[in-house]
């Protein structure tokens, strides 16, 4: 709850105004994955979020995806 509602939804979309409208939705995922609560999430949850994150970042900012590729590898196979 803390990870998706606190980091992604509240801080990302609410406070920082990241979203589809300005092609910054992927930045809400950055906050979510980098938040300390991420480590407490289940592997299934993290895998689902990483799939969504990859789809979103490659649509909104493909160049950024290649800069953070290691982040995807770190969580993709856990």
Nearest one of 42, 41, 32 to 12, comparing CA atoms: 32
pTM: 0.84
Buried b / exposed e across 1-35, counting CB within 10 Å, b at 16+?
Answer: eebbebbbeebbbeeeebeeeeebbbbbbbbbbeb
Confidence of residue 39 (pLDDT cuts 50, 70, 90): very high
Q: Is the pLDDT of residue 10 over 60?
A: yes
What's the pLDDT tens digit per position in 52-76?
A: 998 999 899 988 887 777 766 666 5
């Amino acid at each position: 709850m803390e990870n998706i509602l606190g980091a992604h939804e509240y801080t990302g979309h609410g406070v920082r105004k990241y979203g589809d409208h300005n092609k910054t939705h992927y930045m809400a995922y950055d906050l979510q994955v980098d938040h300390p609560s991420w480590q407490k999430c289940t592997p299934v949850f993290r895998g689902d979020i990483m799939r969504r994150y990859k789809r979103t970042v490659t649509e909104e900012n493909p160049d950024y995806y290649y800069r953070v590729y290691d982040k995807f590898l770190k969580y993709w196979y856990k």
